[in-house]
Structure 1
Amino acid sequence: MAHHSFLPGARAANVIIALGAFALGWAIYVRYALLEQSSVGLACRTLETMTCETRALVIALFSQSAFGIVALVAALLQLVRPSLVMFTLALMATCMGLVIYNNSLAGVAGGLLLISFARPWRGARG
C-alpha cells in the first residue's frame, strides 16, 4: 500500500487560503491600526471600548509569546499527525504570530508546516 504525501485537495486548499488570508488581514489590522498607533494608545488610557479591550488582550498575548507558542504547537501536531484542520489552525496561528511580534517561534512553525507536506497522509486519495 503506497502512502501519499499530505496535500489538500482543491476545495480544501481554497478554504485554507481564505482562512489564512483572513488571519493575516486581521493581524495586519490589529498591528498597524491598534498597536502601533500612539493616538489609540493614548485614547485607551481614558476610554473603555471593545477596541481598547482587544488591544489590551493582544498586548497581553504577544507579551507571553502566545501566538508563536500556539503556532509552534499546532505545527508540531501537524507534523506528527497530518490533518486539514490542524494544518489550517497552524497556518492561521503562524500568520498571526509572524505579524504580531512573535517572529521567531512562528517562523519555526512555518518551516515545520512546509516539512509537513512530505509526511505520509492517511486521508490522501489515489
Structure 2
Amino acid sequence: MAYRNFLPSARATNIILVLGGFALGWAIYMRYALVEQSAIGLACRGMETMTCETREMVITLYGYSVFGIAAIALAVLQFIRPSVALFTAALMATAIGVVMYNNNLSALAAGLLLISFARPWRGATA
C-alpha cells in the first residue's frame, strides 16, 4: 500500500501557522522585553512577581539548552513518524529555540522538519 508524503490539510496548516506565530511572538517578547532588559533584571533582584519568576525560569531553561533539546527531540520524532500534532509542537519549539539563543539545535530541528515533508505519511487520505 503506497502512502502519500506528509502534507497537512489547509485547515491544519492554518492552525500550525497561528500556533507557530504565537510561539514566535512569545519568544520575541520574552527575549527583548524581559530577558535582555537590564532594568527588568535590576528590578527583579528583590522582588518575587510572576514576571520575575518567569524571567528566571526562561534564563534557567536557556542555560540547560532545553529549548533546543526539545526542538530536536520533537523534530526527530516527527521525522520518524510524521503527524500534524508533532509537526506543530516541533515548529513551536524550533521557533522558541531560535529566538532564545539555542540556535544550533533549533536550526538542525528546522532542517529535519523540512525533510519530514518527504516522508511517507500514514495519516494521509488517498
Q: What TM-score do you get using the length of structure 1 for normalisation?
A: 0.98
In structure 1, C-alpha distance between the alignment counterparts of 2:85 and 2:10, rounded to whole Å: 15
> What is the RMSD computed on CA atoms of the aligned residues?
0.6
Paired AA for residue 98 in structure 1 = V
In structure 2, C-alpha distance between the alignment counterparts of 1:40 and 1:56, rounded to whole Å: 11
**How many Å apart are 1:71 and its aligned residue?**
0.2
After superposition, the C-alpha distances for 1:72-102 in whole angstroms (9 at most, x for unaligned) are 0000000000011110000000000000010
Question: Gapped runs of 5+ residues in structure 1?
Answer: none
Tell me what 2:2 maps to.
Answer: 2
Tell me what 2:107 maps to.
Answer: 107
Count of aligned positions: 126
Question: Gapped runs of 5+ residues in structure 2?
Answer: none
Paired AA for residue 9 in structure 2 = G
Are 2:44 and 1:15 equivalent residues in the alignment? no
Q: Which runs of 4+ in 1 moved over 6 A?
A: none
Paired AA for residue 11 in structure 2 = R
**How many Å apart are 1:65 and its aligned residue?**
0.2
**How many Å apart are 1:47 and its aligned residue?**
1.2
**How many Å apart are 1:2 and its aligned residue?**
2.4
Q: How high is the sequence identity, in percent, across the aligned residues?
A: 65
